[in-house]
């Protein structure tokens, strides 16, 4: 039964967000509920169990559809490809105790809020549901469920100051507290009994319970007991693991749930301060931040003063971040839109630590509570761990199909069994037992356990190599990776930067370069002052802390930060300023020190930071540093050297990181806090370029070469300058020397809704291309003398260059490079071109965290299996959405990443791919082996059923426990092959080679068993009644033959105690059992693949020894003829010639099976030839696109500009991915 989204019955929850869901309204109906209860009782709880597995069936059976307004039950369905259902009960919250009269209705702060719109009158109740720890209330006016626990986004900057600046009244706060619930990120430790029940109710364990009950009914005690022990062990290990995770997560969040905070209360227009526990906080509360370290228990907007915060818990980088107060802007824009991408600079995030506060004229640092509980940044991180995104992998889908096939097999066997036994007049109970037995034989209960062991061993091997995994099911997915996105700084290059040189500028001309470390120190002047004050460094725990770039720049001046509590500066009221002074090693300076009065923190959107500073006793000045292109745009044109672009490209082309510096003097008497950023950052004087060196890590180049040799694409996704990124990509080997780089530049056309896109080839060290490249880097024309329109390459360069470029393009040896801005515009205006650009896109520069996540998702849409390797900070979102995210940071922020490497080097990437490939192949081997083992046993049993016979209990036990269980445990020990081959293992079970392998081996097994079964009956010594006729020469057999031969051959596993023959013994039984048992060993050996993805089988010593031991025991059973042993194993004596014949049959089967596996199944050239012959092409989106572009001679266009239509696609929602809410790409966006 599906859902028909009728009017008012259906709505969307969290529209456009990562956890978007569809919601359907239902009302419980008494008679339906009564029928369901009767069904539970009559089915002995089976129906209840089915409803537990399928909550949507539960709702459809118990309830009737209705509008969401009337609903008392809601059904939720995810909007992703999995369409997972969940059931929630609607609850009512009463606020009548808080609202006694009309005067008590929510006050002015509440008029347009969801709180007043959710209270139903006259009952004074609020209708709510809780989904994934977040509470939603029913908005009576909007007729929809809305999230509570956060301030609404529609408030303007001035409204936040006006409405919440003096705090909430007690009544407003109480109403909000009841509706929002407590401000806690409460992750209780799950009781063991709950984990146990949840694990036991897994469909796999339910099937095992059914199997065990059946075996006990048939006196098959030993294996049933063994399965119980193994299952209990598996359950306890899983429960222990889950419990440990639960405890760890509980400890991670509990410290932030009970913090004493000071809040401001509004009592009859007057403000008063009150201390309370943090769990009482509600959105809109006014927090007062005191001096000293404070852990933040909620997300809050800073509305007065300044804070320095350690956000390492959320970003993974322990660099202090400066937060400034929200401006009192008087406009109608919501505060987030007004602040654009910089809104995070005013937000203090939950779980972070305030390490320093600086008050302004008011004397206190105040913040308005923005979000509480699980709505906060930390709550979002915790929810991403509690409710991970399910994985979509063909292997797991195919596994279910494979099990369905086995169940279909079993159904055929059941029908056959019922027919054979019923026609022979067996008792009904016995027929039922025998037919159900077929299911437990055809569907191996040990299959999931066998598959899990392979993953566990791989996880253990990875742990030894310093790679930790919190999502084991993703290990198999690593075996399919064919594209890896790398962050640059700290991932491909060293984390720290070295100061290489300074290119000062005077009177619009560059001076001689000043190299570092130099014999002579830098002379006093504007450039020196800029280096001394233009940073956000602080002294924390006796050390200078901050951005590594800032630290290096400041250390070069030999000045020190005066870390006393604060300094009052003339004309600046009570401003607490940071003062920098000459240190002991500093060259003489004509000033006592410089005070930093005000900071405009670094913004990745603006690509710069600024400070207002004042020499002690001197005038105020503005200093700005940032991306050279951006800084040059803010400077007066006459102060920028004519050769600015060529100098900039000279250094960026060598892979240097270049920072622009600028300054200007401020008019006397102006308060620094009254100035806007736009006023401060205008009409600047250009001071010069600071050149930093960012070296490649030692292991970067060999790793990228190894990936390239394995045909795994490498892509760079960075926040750095595009030219620097291209140079690093070339130095690292991502782009080879013979390949061409094409810069893709997209721009919005001013005054219209359309955009343009241009392709330009990047020719290194050619000055004629500098102007075109500078424009591609984001430089807008400032005056005619600086920029002219980009000249086409062929006009300036000789024809040979053009021919060389065209030749490279024709052979597909080209790479696209684009900036985050261009990527965003292409995604909005040129959506049809995006897949084509991604197919050869190698460098993505100036990318924001949201764009990184979006890029990974776009690659996934092209059917790439994407890995992301980053430092866990601004890559947090991309690490989470990638098929395999590998974090090189061990900070808590990387908790959302499936893999974490202890060593911060990309050497872990090929290691993970190797292990992933080995794990994937091991999974296929296990599937094939388990399928064959169950089919071999199934065929043998059905053959013997024809004669109303079966295997004995010890025969089953030997095959199930001594053979299969031991093989299942040891087969996965084989390690990964050290070399990455240029192709991947198959990603699905239902692939022609795999299916052919299984089908042919089933046919070999069937032929072997049928042949043995039929031929033994043709032997001259064969007798149906006298089972010892073949060995009459042995005395004790002669004595027993007459008394035994009269016993019946039916009565299966009822264990007739005290009799020599329990009804299983026959020549057919002995032949079929011995053949099928050794056949299991043959398929185990044949299916244990070694190269190219796993090490050769002989390196798995344990497995080889196990196989030799098992084969030895089996051959011993074939030739032993020990009476007591044969009697116990339900075997009978056969002539030596027949035993040798069986060994020959097995040898022929081994040879045939091995030959087919090696010559056909594993013959890669043969399958490639077949593909070519039948013109089979990969269905992957990117492969299809590659084939189309190979035929397109006009692609890629060179020196051409396209214009879009005026209609743009809104991608605001799609750009999000999962972005770390606190991180602004400070990583390398300068």
Active site residues: 487
Around Cβ 122, how many Cβ atoms within 10 Å? 6
Using the Cα atoms of residue 506, residue 512, residue 517 and residue 523 in order, give the sign of their dihedral.
Answer: negative
Residue with tokens 């329109």: 789
Cα 279-280-283 angle, rounded to 5 deg: 100
Residue 74 contacts residue 25 (beta carbons within 8 Å) = yes
Alpha carbon distance 473, 454 (integer Å): 11
Handedness of CA 959, 965, 968, 969 (dihedral sign): negative
What is the spatial distance between Cα 36 and Cα 128, in angstroms, rounded to a whole number? 26
Integer Cα distance of 303 and 346 in angstroms: 8
The CA-based angle 408-414-417, given to 5 degrees, is 145
Upstream peptide bond of 753 is cis (omega within 30 degrees of 0) = no
Within 13 Å of residue 1176, how many CA atoms lie on the same side as its CB? 8
Enter the tokens of residue 292. 């000293």
Q: Measured on CA atoms in the order 598, 603, 606, 608, is the torsion positive or negative?
A: positive
> E-assigned strands of 83-133?
85-89, 91-94, 125-131
Whether the CB-CB separation of 821 and 846 falls below 8 Å is answered with yes
Spatial distance between the Cα atoms of 768 and 791, rounded to a whole number of angstroms: 8
CB under 8 Å, gap of 24 or more: what pairs does 994-998 form? 994/924, 994/928, 994/1161, 996/1160, 996/1161, 997/928, 997/1087, 997/1156, 997/1157, 997/1161, 998/928, 998/931, 998/932
- The helix/strand/coil state of 167 is coil
Question: Of all helices (H) and strands (E), which one includes residue 659?
Answer: strand 657-665
The CA distance from 85 to 857, in Å, is 24
Which helix (H) or strand (E) is 31 found in, with range?
helix 30-42
| Residue 370, φ and ψ in degrees, nearest 5 | -95, -50
Contact present, 511 and 647 (Cβ < 8 Å): no
Closest CA to 1047 of 1130, 1139, 941, 955: 1130
H or E stretch covering 1136: helix 1136-1156
Q: Which of 505, 580, 573 is nearest to 536 (CA)?
A: 580
User: From CA 77, how far away is CA 87, in angstroms rounded?
Assistant: 9
Rg (alpha carbons) of the chain, rounded to whole number: 37
Strands (E) in 480-619, as ranges, are 483-486, 498-506, 509-510, 514-515, 538-540, 543-545, 559-562, 578-582, 594-603, 608-615
Which strand (E) or helix (H) includes residue 807?
A: helix 799-810
| Rounded Cα distance, 633 and 651, in Å | 19
Residue with tokens 């002294």: 539
As a whole number of angstroms, the distance between CA 424 and CA 947 comes to 10
Residue 6 CA: distances (Å) to CA of 62, 67, 145, 634: 19, 9, 17, 56
Cβ burial, residue 40 (10 Å; 0-12/13-18/19+)? middle
């Amino acid at each position: 039964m599906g859902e028909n989204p009728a009017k008012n019955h259906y709505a969307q929850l969290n529209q456009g967000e990562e956890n978007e869901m569809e919601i359907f309204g239902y009302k419980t109906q008494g008679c339906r509920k009564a029928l369901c209860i009767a069904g539970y009782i009559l089915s002995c709880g089976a129906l209840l169990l089915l409803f537990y597995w399928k909550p949507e069936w539960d709702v459809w059976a118990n309830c009737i559809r209705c509008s969401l307004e009337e609903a008392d039950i809601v059904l939720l369905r995810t909007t992703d490809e999995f369409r997972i259902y969940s059931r929630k009960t609607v609850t009512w919250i009463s606020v009548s105790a808080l609202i006694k009269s009309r005067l008590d209705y929510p006050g002015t702060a509440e008029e347009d809020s969801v709180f007043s719109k959710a209270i139903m009158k006259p009952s004074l109740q609020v209708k709510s549901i809780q989904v994934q720890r977040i509470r939603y209330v029913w908005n009576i006016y909007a007729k929809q469920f809305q999230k509570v626990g956060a301030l609404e986004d529609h408030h303007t900057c001035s409204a936040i100051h006006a409405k919440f600046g003096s705090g909430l009244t007690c009544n407003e706060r109480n109403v909000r507290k009841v509706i929002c619930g407590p401000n806690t990120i409460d992750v209780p430790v799950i009781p063991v009994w709950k984990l146990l029940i949840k694990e036991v109710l897994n469909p796999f364990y339910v099937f095992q319970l059914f199997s065990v009950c059946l075996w006990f009914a048939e006196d098959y005690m030993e294996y049933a007991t063994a399965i119980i022990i193994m299952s209990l062990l598996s359950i306890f290990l899983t429960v222990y693991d889950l419990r440990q995770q639960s405890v760890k997560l509980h400890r991670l969040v509990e410290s932030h749930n009970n913090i004493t905070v000071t809040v401001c209360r509004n009592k009859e227009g007057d403000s008063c301060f009150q201390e309370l526990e943090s769990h009482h906080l509600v959105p809109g509360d006014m927090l007062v931040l005191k001096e000293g370290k404070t852990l933040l228990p909620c997300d809050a907007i800073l509305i007065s003063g300044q804070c320095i915060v350690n956000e390492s818990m959320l970003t993974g980088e322990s660099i202090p971040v400066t937060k400034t107060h929200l401006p009192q802007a008087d406009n109608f824009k919501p505060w987030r839109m007004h602040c654009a991408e910089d809104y995070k600079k005013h937000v203090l995030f939950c779980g972070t630590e305030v390490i320093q506060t600086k008050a302004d004229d008011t004397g206190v640092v105040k913040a308005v509570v923005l979000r509480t509980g699980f709505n906060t940044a930390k709550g979002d991180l915790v929810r991403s761990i509690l409710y991970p995104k399910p994985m979509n992998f063909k292997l797991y889908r195919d596994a279910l199909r494979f099990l369905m096939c086995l169940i279909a097999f079993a159904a055929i066997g059941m029908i056959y069994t019922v027919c054979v036994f019923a026609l022979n007049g067996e008792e009904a109970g016995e027929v039922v037992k025998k037919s159900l037995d077929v299911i437990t034989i055809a569907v191996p209960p040990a299959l999931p356990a066998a598959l899990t062991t392979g993953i566990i061993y791989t996880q253990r091997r990875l742990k030894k190599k310093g790679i930790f995994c919190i999502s084991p099911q993703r290990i198999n997915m690593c075996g399919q990776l064919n594209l890896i996105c790398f962050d640059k700084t700290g991932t491909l290059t060293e984390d720290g930067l070295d100061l290489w040189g300074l290119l000062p500028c005077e009177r619009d001309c560059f001076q001689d370069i000043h190299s570092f470390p130099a014999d002579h120190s830098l002379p006093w002047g504007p450039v020196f002052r800029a280096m001394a004050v233009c940073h956000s460094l602080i002294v924390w725990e006796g050390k200078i802390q901050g951005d590594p770039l800032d630290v290096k720049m400041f250390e070069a001046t030999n000045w020190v930060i005066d870390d006393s509590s604060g300094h009052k500066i003339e004309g600046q009221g009570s401003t607490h300023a940071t003062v920098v002074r000459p240190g002991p090693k500093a060259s003489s300076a004509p000033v006592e020190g410089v005070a930093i009065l005000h900071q405009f923190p670094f913004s990745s959107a603006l690509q710069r930071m600024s400070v207002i500073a004042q020499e002690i006793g001197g005038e105020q000045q503005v200093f700005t540093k940032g991306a050279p292109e951006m800084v040059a745009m803010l400077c007066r044109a006459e102060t920028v050297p004519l050769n600015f672009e060529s100098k900039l490209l000279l250094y960026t082309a060598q892979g240097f990181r270049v920072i622009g510096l600028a300054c200007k003097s401020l008019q006397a008497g102006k308060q620094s806090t009254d100035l806007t950023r736009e006023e401060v950052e205008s009409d600047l004087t250009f001071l010069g370029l600071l050149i930093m060196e960012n070296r490649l890590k030692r292991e970067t180049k060999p790793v990228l070469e190894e990936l390239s040799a394995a045909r795994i694409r490498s892509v760079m996704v960075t926040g750095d300058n595009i030219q620097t990124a291209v140079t690093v990509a070339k130095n690292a080997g991502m782009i080879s020397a013979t390949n061409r780089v094409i810069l893709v530049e997209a721009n919005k056309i001013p005054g219209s809704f359309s955009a343009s896109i241009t392709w330009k080839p990047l020719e290194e060290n050619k000055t004629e291309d500098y102007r075109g490249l500078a424009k591609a880097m984001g430089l807008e024309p400032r005056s005619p003398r600086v920029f002219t329109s980009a000249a086409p390459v062929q006009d300036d360069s000789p024809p040979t260059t053009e021919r060389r470029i065209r030749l490279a393009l024709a052979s597909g040896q080209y790479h696209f490079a684009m900036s985050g801005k261009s990527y965003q515009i292409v995604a909005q205006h040129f959506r049809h071109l995006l897949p084509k650009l991604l197919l050869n896109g190698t460098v993505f520069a100036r990318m924001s965290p949201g764009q990184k996540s979006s890029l990974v998702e776009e690659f996934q849409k092209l059917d790439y299996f994407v890995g992301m390797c980053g430092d866990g900070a601004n890559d947090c979102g991309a690490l989470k959405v990638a098929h395999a995210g590998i974090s090189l940071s061990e900070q808590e922020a990387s908790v959302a990443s499936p893999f974490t490497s202890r060593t911060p080097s990309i050497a872990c990437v090929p290691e993970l791919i190797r292990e992933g490939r080995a794990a994937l192949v091991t999974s296929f081997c296990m599937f094939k082996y388990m399928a064959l083992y169950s089919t071999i046993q199934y065929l043998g049993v059905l053959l013997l059923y024809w004669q109303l016979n079966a295997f004995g209990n010890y025969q089953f036990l030997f095959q199930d426990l001594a053979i299969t269980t031991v093989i299942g445990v040891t087969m996965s020990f084989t390690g990964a092959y050290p070399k990455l081959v240029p192709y991947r293992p198959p990603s699905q079970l239902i692939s022609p080679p795999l299916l052919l392998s299984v089908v042919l081996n089933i046919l070999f097994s069937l032929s072997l068993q049928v042949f043995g079964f039929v031929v033994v009956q043709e032997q001259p010594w064969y007798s149906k009644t006298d089972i010892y006729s073949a060995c009459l020469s042995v005395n004790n057999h002669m004595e027993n033959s007459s008394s035994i031969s009269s016993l019946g051959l039916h009565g299966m596993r009822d264990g007739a105690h005290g009799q020599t023959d329990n009804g299983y013994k026959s020549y057919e039984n002995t032949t079929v059992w011995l053949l099928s048992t050794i056949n299991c060993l043959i398929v185990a050996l044949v299916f244990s693949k070694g190269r190219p993805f796993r090490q050769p089988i002989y390196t798995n010593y344990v497995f080889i020894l196990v196989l030799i031991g098992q084969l030895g025991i089996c051959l011993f059973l074939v030739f032993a003829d020990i009476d007591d042993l044969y009697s116990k194993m339900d075997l009978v004596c056969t002539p030596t010639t027949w035993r040798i014949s069986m060994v020959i049959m097995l040898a022929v089967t081994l040879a045939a099976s091995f030959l087919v596996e090696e010559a056909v199944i594993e013959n890669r050239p043969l399958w490639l030839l077949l593909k070519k012959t039948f013109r089979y092409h990969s269905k992957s989106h990117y492969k299809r696109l590659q084939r189309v572009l190979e035929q397109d001679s006009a692609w890629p266009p060179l020196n051409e500009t396209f214009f879009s239509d005026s209609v743009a696609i809104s991608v605001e929602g799609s750009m999000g991915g999962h972005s770390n809410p606190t991180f602004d790409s400070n990583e390398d966006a300068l």
